[in-house]
Amino acid sequence: MQASSVGHMTHAIPRTPGWLRLALCLALGLATPSDPRTPVDAGWAGELTRLAARVEALPSDLARTTFLREYTGALLDIGRPDERTLRRYQAVDFDSFDPAEYYPLFRDNSLPANCGITSYYYIKLLHALGFKAYQYSFGFSEKPYQRFIHSVALVEIGVNRTRRLIVQDPYLNLTYRTRDGQPMDFIAFLAAIRARRYDEIVTDASSLTTALLVPDASLYLRHLSRECQAGLIGLLERPHGSRRAELPIVRSYATLMQSDCDRFERDFLEAMRQHGLHEPFLYAYTLRAAELVGSADHAEVQRRIDAVLR
């Protein structure tokens, strides 16, 4: 798949045409000969060393995991994958996903990443830097609703001498807090949603820019209205007739979920209504769509989650 508060939003997001929102979003370590590692491995290892130094200087686990979320959201690009990229992603699962292989591709703007791949990368990065983390996927897995699945990371952090499991969503660039500003534990988050206490949940998001990759405009145009097609073509065209292959874009809930050119939130809510669920999008978190993957104790964490969702 592809802030304010989600569900019951604390600040309304103004509606603008999708192509105009896109326009408004525009932001107009190498191996040595003696190093036995490959350039790919060396690039990833060098990046980990650089990030570890940055993370160590931050004051809390929340600050560290948020920094890494924003780093991931800026590094990985958005876009519709072509058939070759789809096959590549379908051939990997969490265990086989190798961030050392994908890091140079993401760094060089060679591949777009969906929410599943984005969370894989973020979780592997967290593991490399000493955090426990898991991928949680929710939505619908049956036909014809398989499009409506979203994946986030659950990250264990220290808060006031306790451990909490919190949502960090690198794709939509957000996390959740309680009304008193504390990081919200995922078990309490699910319990509040199940009880329809949506006002207890506050979305905490920041602003960052990444790239929308458009190497082949036809991948997009067939899914867009005529107005949105014209808007996208206008943004891609250069003064002398050539076309851009990428556009800077703000990674946010409004851009990725509420664009008039791809109303994913609206369509997801319609899928929920067809299942008899007349609830805000937050309720979708209770629709677990896959087994938890990640740190070694993922089965135990899964049991804790399922105890709330029963």
- Indicate if the pLDDT at residue 58 is higher than 80: yes
**DSSP secondary-structure letter at 9?**
-
pLDDT on residue 38:
55
87-101, 145-159, 227-241: least confidently modelled range: 227-241
Domain extents in the chain: 18-309
Q: pLDDT above 90 covers what percent of the chain? A: 82
Under DSSP, is residue 221 helix (H, G, I), strand (E, B) or coil? helix
Q: What is the mean pLDDT of the chain?
A: 88
Give the model confidence (pLDDT) of 204-217 as tens digits.
998 899 999 999 99
Instruction: Determine which helix (DSSP H) or strand (DSSP E) holds 133, and give its type and residue range.
Output: strand 133-139
pLDDT on residue 41:
62
**Residue type at 169?**
D
Cα dihedral: 264, 22, 90, 283 (round 10): -30
Give the model confidence (pLDDT) of 275-310 as tens digits.
999 999 999 999 999 999 999 999 999 999 999 999
Written as one string, the DSSP assignment of 228-263 is HHHHHHHHHB-TTS-B-SEEEEE-SHHHHHS-TTS-
* Long-range Cβ contacts of 182-190 (<8 Å, 24+ apart): 183/62, 183/157, 183/159, 186/136, 186/154, 186/305, 187/304, 187/305, 187/308, 189/285, 190/285, 190/286, 190/305, 190/308, 190/309
> Rounded to whole angstroms, how far apart are CA atoms 119 and 171?
7
Pairing of strands 162-169, 174-177: antiparallel
- Indicate if the pLDDT at residue 70 is higher than 80: yes
> Rounded to whole angstroms, how far apart are CA atoms 304 and 136?
13
Phi, psi at residue 8, to the nearest 5°?
Answer: -105, 100
- If we measure between CA atoms, which residue out of 182, 181, 96, 190 comes closest to residue 152? 190
Mutual angle of helices 115-128 and 39-56, in 10-degree steps: 70
In which band, very low, low, confident or very high, does the pLDDT at 40 lie, cut at 50, 70 and 90? low
Give the model confidence (pLDDT) of 126-137 as tens digits.
999 999 999 999
Under DSSP, is residue 215 helix (H, G, I), strand (E, B) or coil? coil
Instruction: Determine which helix (DSSP H) or strand (DSSP E) holds 304, and give its type and residue range.
Output: helix 298-309
User: Which residues is 53 bridged to in the sheet?
Assistant: none
pLDDT on residue 156:
98
**Which residue has 């791949």 as its token pair?**
117
**Which residue has 């560290």 as its token pair?**
64
In the numeric block, which tokens belong to residue 221? 């145009």
3-12, 141-150, 183-192, 267-276: least confidently modelled range: 3-12
pLDDT on residue 262:
84
> Rounded to whole angstroms, how far apart are CA atoms 174 and 34?
42
In which band, very low, low, confident or very high, does the pLDDT at 240 lie, cut at 50, 70 and 90? confident
Mean pLDDT for 220-235 is 93
Q: Is this structure's pTM higher than 0.85?
A: yes
- If we measure between CA atoms, which residue out of 97, 226, 105, 118 comes closest to residue 168? 118
7-16, 40-49, 151-160: least confidently modelled range: 7-16
> Rounded to whole angstroms, how far apart are CA atoms 66 and 168?
7
Under DSSP, is residue 100 helix (H, G, I), strand (E, B) or coil? helix
14 against 68, higher pLDDT? 68
In which band, very low, low, confident or very high, does the pLDDT at 1 lie, cut at 50, 70 and 90? low
In which band, very low, low, confident or very high, does the pLDDT at 4 lie, cut at 50, 70 and 90? very low
